[in-house]
Chains A and B, each alone.
Chain A
Amino acid sequence: MTQDSARVERAALETEREANPALALLSTSVGRNAGLVVALLLICVVGAVSAGDRFTSSDNALTILRLAAGVGVVSIGMTFVIIGGGIDLSVGAIVALASVWSTTVATQQMVEDTHWIAMVGVALLVGAGCGLVNGLVIAYGNVVAFITTLAMLASARGLAEIISDKKTQIIPRHGFAEFFNGDLLGVSVQIWLFALVAAVGWILLNRTTFGRRTVAVGGNPEAARLAGINVKRHTVYLYVLIGVCSGIAALMLVARTTTGSSTHGTLWELDAIAAVVIGGTLLTGGRGTIVGTVLGVLIFSTLTNIFILNNRSFSEQSLFKGAIIVAAVLLQQRLASRSNT
């Protein structure tokens, strides 16, 4: 069934390509990603021209990547959820909750008694737990994802405030911070983690049944169900996956700041969704790429970096960011309507 629709789509694309080669190329995923690479390169040229060596130095490149890493990991999870036809507004709040839970006195005691890996376990479990609740309510409670995760956004941050008593929880600088905030082969572990999560995400999406099912569920849930996919169970998996990603991002933030706080990860959900959307993933589901998301994240963090280097205000940057998102979505809609005709 899905193979059929894929064949139809491919045929449609082929006719398209004959009609207008440039536009047709843009509507394939490889072409779209090439477009993003060009956009990123253009931004880099602006950076190099306006800030010179200060932009092009390797230290600065690492700074950009470190900034991208946290939101990047969340965005990989977001790519799966959005391809699967959902949305998750609660990731920032889950990051806050996981950061708080993994830095409580009790957890730190556990770390002292055993190993700092306990902290990792706690954060991942909290993330997975929140994701599981989201997934169950959406799949089996038939509540719209937007509402469910909005509720989780409020309650996870509320719970984080209750647990931390709204205070910033400071952890001692033991092995955990040294590892997660350290360097490996001259590159920050945070960047390695982002690369690792992106690589695993790519394999999962492109080379496994899980990935194909995600595309099928997002593209046409009814067809996917008829094709024998357990759509409800798969939806739950997707939200657990993004929960785990949020847990990893929380660990990275805890290591960078040596703190857990209920204010961590504020508005990360919007950054992640924005990166996924400009990365070419359809908000309606069924199509998207990991490479596009990574490029989307890099475009935003490079932009932030250039604004800092050039002494420009954050407000101008927000304005610019908004314009980029609208432009990306408009382009996407045009391409979508072309491939539908």
Chain B
Amino acid sequence: MSLRSTTPKTRKRFATSLVAGLAVLALTACTSNSDGDDTSGNDSGGGAVAAPAGSNDETGDTVVIGFSAPAADHGWMGSITESAKNEAAKYDDIELRVAEGTNDVAVQISQVETFINDKVDAIVLLPFDGAAMTPIALKAMAAGIPVINVDREFDDPNAARVTVLGDNYGMGVSAGAYVCAEADGNKDAIVAEIAGIDSLPLTQDRSQGFNDALAECGLDVDNRVAADFTVEGGSDAAEQLLQAAPKIDFLWNHDDDQGVGVLAAIDNAGRDEFTMIGGAGSKNAMELIKSGDSVLKATVIYPSTQAADGIRLARLLVQQKAMSDLVEVEVPRVVQLYAPVVTADNVDQYIDTAFES
């Protein structure tokens, strides 16, 4: 079906849409190239590629943002808080109050209560447990404080004005599709999985996506163990797994932080017969992928800069600005990030935004 075979009518439609498309391009070029272009080299956490900045970056009214996240007990979570702080420091009009670091929901609730008492302008919240933090988030919203929910979702959509999410299900799908492509029709390939904390919905979503993608090419997970996102947990879980499965073809490990332990256990066991895929996208995982002499051949990204995005969105929201690259005049309800597969071929594109584990 080439252009030549189209009727005059459809050709005309094509021309109109081409013009419309060009017009949109021109418009966005106008809005995003207004004065004060980004010259700071935009270094969010690991050094994100600078997003086109428009008048949105001009200093406005000071915004007080309360930020709370679980304990930084693994590199990804540490980077969440670090990149949020770094992002806030770039803006003169953001006053960030950080109440980081607790895995006790009672304490995290108390932190949010303090923000409500303080009458902050917005709250960016990465809950230890999304469902458990829902009532207090609803209370903040009722008090007129917009809540930006990051990563672990509340169970009531009214509890947040904006939700910033990674794609957990998509991570599983990306990892599964990669395994399918590498297995290349081999239906007997033995697939193993090392999950993160099993009680979290995000772990369940990742596993679901992995299973669904594997089912597409007739594979399934033969051995599955769960760890806890820590190096020690990863090492213990991997040791159990390697003991239970004498031969593996593909191993997906949900998280590169626990991956440090997983790789250590694999080294100790002297195993190298399989291809390992990581998750989240840490810097050292990417360096191993780049070097090519490890069992780790790929990883699927789960951005650790999403709280930093939450901070930016909170600022826009309070200053009543919108995302300049969208036509929409309000900040969107949900922003979901993509989960690409990183291999030796494209690792250079991602290594700069990776987190240190």
| Size class of the contact patch on chain B | 20 to 34
B105 & A257 in contact (Cβ 8 Å cutoff):
yes
**Given the complex of chains A and B, what is the CA–CA distance between A310 and B238 in angstroms?**
41
Known contacts: A167-B201, A259-B131, A308-B111. The answer to whether A57 contacts B117 by CB under 8 A is: yes
B135 & A177 in contact (Cβ 8 Å cutoff):
yes
Within 8 A of B (CB), among A40-61: 54, 57, 59-60
**Given the complex of chains A and B, what is the CA–CA distance between A204 and B133 in angstroms?**
36
**Residue A259 contacts which of B98, B101, B114, B132 (CB distance < 8 angstroms)?**
B132
Within 8 A of B (CB), among A3-47: none
**What residues of B have a CB within 8 angstroms of the CB of A261 in the complex?**
105, 129, 131-132, 199
User: At the interface, yes or no: B356 with Cβ under 8 Å from chain A?
Assistant: no
Stretch at the interface among A62-70, A112-120, A235-243: A62-70
User: At the interface, yes or no: B99 with Cβ under 8 Å from chain A?
Assistant: yes
**Given the complex of chains A and B, what is the CA–CA distance between A304 and B155 in angstroms?**
27
User: At the interface, yes or no: B236 with Cβ under 8 Å from chain A?
Assistant: no
Known contacts: A66-B110, A71-B106. The answer to whether A257 contacts B198 by CB under 8 A is: no
Contact with B along A249-261 (1 / 0, CB 8 A): 0000100111101
- Rounded to whole Å, the gap between the CB of A183 and the closest CB of chain B is 12
**Given the complex of chains A and B, what is the CA–CA distance between A63 and B107 in angstroms?**
10
What is the number of contacts between chain A and chain B, taking CB atoms within 8 Å? 100
**What residues of B have a CB within 8 angstroms of the CB of A259 in the complex?**
129, 131-132, 134
- Rounded to whole Å, the gap between the CB of A102 and the closest CB of chain B is 14
**What residues of A have a CB within 8 angstroms of the CB of B132 in the complex?**
168, 257-259, 261, 264
Known contacts: A261-B199, A262-B199, A305-B110. The answer to whether A315 contacts B101 by CB under 8 A is: yes
**Residue A63 contacts which of B99, B110, B135 (CB distance < 8 angstroms)?**
B110
**What residues of B have a CB within 8 angstroms of the CB of A140 in the complex?**
none
**What residues of A have a CB within 8 angstroms of the CB of B99 in the complex?**
308, 311, 314
User: At the interface, yes or no: B71 with Cβ under 8 Å from chain A?
Assistant: yes
Contact with A along B173-210 (1 / 0, CB 8 A): 00000000000000000000000001101001000000
**What residues of A have a CB within 8 angstroms of the CB of B129 in the complex?**
168, 257, 259, 261, 263
B131 & A266 in contact (Cβ 8 Å cutoff):
no
Known contacts: A261-B132, A315-B101. The answer to whether A256 contacts B117 by CB under 8 A is: no
**Given the complex of chains A and B, what is the CA–CA distance between A305 and B114 in angstroms?**
8
Within 8 A of B (CB), among A259-288: 259, 261-264, 266-268
User: At the interface, yes or no: B109 with Cβ under 8 Å from chain A?
Assistant: yes
B106 & A304 in contact (Cβ 8 Å cutoff):
no
**What residues of A have a CB within 8 angstroms of the CB of B134 in the complex?**
170, 257-259
Contact with A along B338-356 (1 / 0, CB 8 A): 0000000000000000000
**What residues of A have a CB within 8 angstroms of the CB of B155 in the complex?**
170
User: At the interface, yes or no: A166 with Cβ under 8 Å from chain B?
Assistant: yes
- Rounded to whole Å, the gap between the CB of A157 and the closest CB of chain B is 11
**What residues of A have a CB within 8 angstroms of the CB of B117 in the complex?**
54, 57, 59-60, 63
**What residues of B have a CB within 8 angstroms of the CB of A170 in the complex?**
131, 134, 155
Give A61's nearest chain B residue, CB to CB: B117
**What residues of B have a CB within 8 angstroms of the CB of A161 in the complex?**
199
**Residue B113 contacts which of A66, A168, A177, A267 (CB distance < 8 angstroms)?**
A66
User: At the interface, yes or no: B103 with Cβ under 8 Å from chain A?
Assistant: yes
Known contacts: A166-B199, A168-B129. The answer to whether A253 contacts B111 by CB under 8 A is: no
User: At the interface, yes or no: A309 with Cβ under 8 Å from chain B?
Assistant: yes
**What residues of A have a CB within 8 angstroms of the CB of B113 in the complex?**
63, 66
Within 8 A of B (CB), among A148-197: 161, 164, 166-168, 170, 173, 177, 181
Give B95's nearest chain A residue, CB to CB: A311
B105 & A311 in contact (Cβ 8 Å cutoff):
no
User: At the interface, yes or no: B102 with Cβ under 8 Å from chain A?
Assistant: yes
- Rounded to whole Å, the gap between the CB of A94 and the closest CB of chain B is 15
Could you list which residues of chain A lie within 8 angstroms of chain B, going by C-beta atoms? Answer: 54, 57, 59-60, 63, 66-67, 70-71, 161, 164, 166-168, 170, 173, 177, 181, 253, 256-259, 261-264, 266-268, 301, 304-305, 308-309, 311, 313-315
4 tightest A-B CB contacts, nearest first: A314-B101, A257-B132, A166-B199, A67-B110
Q: List 15 A-B contacts (CB under 8 A).
A: A67-B107, A71-B106, A167-B204, A170-B155, A256-B135, A257-B129, A259-B129, A261-B132, A261-B199, A262-B199, A263-B103, A264-B105, A311-B97, A313-B101, A314-B102
Known: A170-B131, A257-B129, A301-B110. 17 other contacts (CB 8 A): A54-B117, A59-B117, A60-B114, A63-B114, A67-B110, A166-B198, A166-B199, A168-B129, A168-B130, A253-B106, A259-B129, A261-B131, A263-B128, A263-B129, A304-B107, A309-B118, A313-B98
